[in-house]
Amino acid sequence: MEPMVEIKALSAHAGAAVTLQGWLYGKRSGGKVAFLLVRDGTGLCQCVVEAEAADAFARANELAQESSLQVTGTVRKDERAPGGYELLVTAVRPIQIAKDYPITRKAHGVDFLMNHRHLWFRTPRQTAILRVRHRLIRSMRAFFDDRGFTLVDTPILSPGAAEGAGTLFPVDFFDEQVYLAQTGQLYLEAAAMALGKVYCFGPTFRAEKSKTRRHLAEFWMIEPEIAFAELPDLAELAEAFITHLVGDILTHCRAELETLERDMAPLERIAPPFPRLTYSEAVDLLHSGEVHERLLSELERDRACLKQWQADLGRAEEERAAAKKGWRQDKLDRQILELRENIRELDVDLRNRPGHIENARHFAWGNDLGGDEETILSRHFDKPVIITEYPKDVKAFYMKPKPDDPRVVLNLDVIAPEGYGEIIGGSQREDDFDALIARMEQEQMDRAPYEWYLDLRRYGSVPHGGFGLGVERTVAWICGLRHIRETIPFPRMMGRMTP
RNA sequence: UCCGGCGUAGCUCAAUGGUAGAGCGGGUGACUGUUAAUCACUAGGUUGUAGGUUCGAGCCCUACCGCCGGAGCCA
């Protein structure tokens, strides 16, 4: 038999007879010629079956969308073929004939697609996202591996613990109530005292009842932890880390980003130094006339934009009504759907916006920065923003207060550009035994389960810290996705457990 | 938990309170270098559920269920 070839390698076999195996992505057929669009996970290839190849032609006509098959033929360069190469078919071998494949090559709604997630990710857009995710994870691990970090796996089952117990998933562990981990951090601190620089990478679980485009109940997080590191070291590491990730995706996943129609210009700008401001400076910025003016002018601009879109929609609908059947109508349908969705979204946004602007202007020092504030701050810059030194009261017990201003802690958040929200959260940890237990008492925490953790402060405590980066939010940002649910093969979120 | 929006054919959507429709997909046939092909024919419905108002409800009212995304919380 002819050599089995992957579609991505077709160009190296021009003129040769080869066999492809894969699935039928689409088909156009007629009396004298059939075009099979075959995908194999590495690419798409148009396979031309002419009626003279009678057996192949007959079999080609039996195939429906997503049937599995092998096709043999001669590779040839052709301008008209997507990808530039096509296969002139001599034999078609169906493996299994699919019937009534539910996802057609037309528009579908989110709920329908989510219910068919197991099939949905066969489409070019979804496979592009999954490839970016893969490359991103590989880049993340390479970044730490190349800098002398050791991967340490932390447990997924963890004893209750006090911190935000309300947001954990309870699990029955031999009649004992334990929880799914929401971070590996405490264990990682122990590992850092053994190995110096460590990281963990794994799933993490949050039972927050959040149904937004930024939330998953189960997501993946990579967390470095470093002995002898202070807040500025962490900020520098986070900056280098993100720069590395974006650069790596831009070099290795251009085709995928093009498939996703991601505007790459904002990504090309990602380079050190990132803007850094303290929480207090961020609050001042929110209060500033400069920001207020900008928000108001953006509001005006977006209102004009809404009107423009509504006009576009009206025009498209008129044109749709007048259009003849066929691809022209099809294209208009797509435009209309997209416009409607954008309009609905912007309309809601515009109605909420004046309130947000007022909230920002009167934001009180001491509150945690919410999604709106983050968005406002991130829109003020065109790179990720590092915000440090939040009020102690809104942060976790293990964060080290700033020596000369104990109202705040030595923490950092990194806010992604373009409104994608917080992608990194971390801190320098409290390394002093007495200060740590004082804080735990303040929070009325039960000390017993933490004795092992306190040992780290008893035996050779050193300044240290780390952060966690959310994989899915980072994928969503880099790919420019509207929703985080597309960034993970099988999303787990409130109200969604299948498939 | 709160706020807002939406539930009509397998899918995406139409339908002044007055005979439930289109496109796609499925089926049958025709046609051919097609690009989410095209043309003709065809099958396909308890309008989310339960009440109510009305001569008459897909449309109005009430409750519930489901979905969407925003707040809170967070990566």
Two structure tokens written together for A216: 């998953």
Task: Give the dihedral sign, CA A403/A405/A411/A416.
Answer: negative
Q: CA A368, C1' B13: Å apart?
A: 43
The C1' atom of B56 and the CA atom of A207 lie apart, in whole Å, by: 50
Residue spans of alpha helices (H) in A269-288 = 279-287
Torsion of CA A161, A166, A169, A175, to 10 degrees: 60
* 3-class secondary-structure state, position A191: helix
- Measured CA A278 to C1' B74 distance, in angstroms: 20
Spanning CA of A312 to C1' of B13, the rounded length in angstroms is 18
3-class state of residue A81 by DSSP? coil
CATH superfamily of A7-96: Nucleic acid-binding proteins (2.40.50.140)
Q: Where are the alpha helices (DSSP H) in A219-326?
A: 231-252, 254-259, 265-268, 279-287, 289-322
A227 touches strand B (CB under 7 A): no
Q: Which helix (H) or strand (E) holds A195?
A: helix A185-195
Residue A388: count other Cβ atoms within 10 Å of its Cβ: 25
Report the candidate in A422, A416, A450, A415 with the shortest Cα–Cα distance to residue A436: A450
Straight-line distance from CA A108 to C1' B47, in Å?
20
Pick out the nucleotide with least CA–C1' distance to A344: B5
Q: Which residue is nearest to nucleotide B14 (CA to C1')?
A: A321
Low pLDDT (below 70) residues in chain A: 160-166, 320-331
**Distance of alpha carbon A206 from the chain centroid:** 17
The token duo for A421 is: 């929200």
Of A247, A140, A259, A254, nearest to A201 by C-alpha is A140
Structure tokens at A23: 């699935």
Residue with tokens 């009261």: A393
Closest CA to A410 of A431, A392, A385: A392
Report how far residue A410's alpha carbon sits from residue A428's, in angstroms, rounded to the nearest whole number.
6
CA distance A62 to A38: 15
CATH superfamily, domain A117-275+381-487, is Bira Bifunctional Protein; Domain 2 (3.30.930.10)
Sign of CA pseudo-dihedral A384, A387, A393, A398: positive
Q: Give the residue nearest to nucleotide B27 (CA to C1').
A: A100
- Whether the CB-CB separation of A317 and A323 falls below 8 Å is answered with no
Which stretches does DSSP call E strand in A194-336? Answer: 197-205, 218-227, 276-278
- Which structure tokens are listed for A71? 């096709």
Beta bridge partners of A75: A87
Instruction: Work out if A366's Cβ lies within 7 angstroms of strand B.
Output: no
Q: What are the residue ranges spanned by the domains of chain A?
A: 7-96, 117-275+381-487, 293-357
C-alpha to C-alpha distance for A215 and A265, rounded to whole angstroms = 26
User: Phi/psi class of residue A377: alpha, beta or left (left: φ > 0; alpha: ψ in -120 to 50)?
Assistant: alpha
A344 beta carbon to strand B: under 7 Å: yes
Q: Beta carbon of A102 within 7 Å of strand B?
A: yes
Backbone angles phi, psi at A430, to 5 degrees: -70, 115
- What distance, in Å, lies between the first and last C-alpha atoms of chain A? 38
Alpha helices in A323-449 (DSSP H): 327-361, 371-379, 433-442
Q: What is the pLDDT of residue A323?
A: 61
- Enumerate the nucleotides of strand B whose atoms come under 7 Å of any protein CB: 1, 4-5, 10-14, 23-27, 30-40, 66-75
Give the bridge partners for A39, in sequence order.
A23, A44
User: Looking at this protein, which amino acid is placed at residue A416?
Assistant: A
Q: How far apart are CA A198 and CA A206, in angstroms?
A: 23
Q: How far is the CA of A33 from the C1' of B37 (A)?
A: 12
Q: Is the CB of A290 under 7 A from strand B?
A: no
Q: Are strands A197-205 and A150-151 parallel, antiparallel or unpaired?
A: parallel
| Cβ-proximal residues to A50 (8 Å cutoff; 6+ apart), any chain | A32, A33, A57, A88, A89
One fold for both A7-96 and A117-275+381-487? no
The amino acid sitting at A440 is M
Question: What ipTM goes with this model?
Answer: 0.90
Q: Hey, what are A352's tokens? A: 């909420």
Please write the tens of the pLDDT for every residue from A468-485. 999 999 999 999 998 999
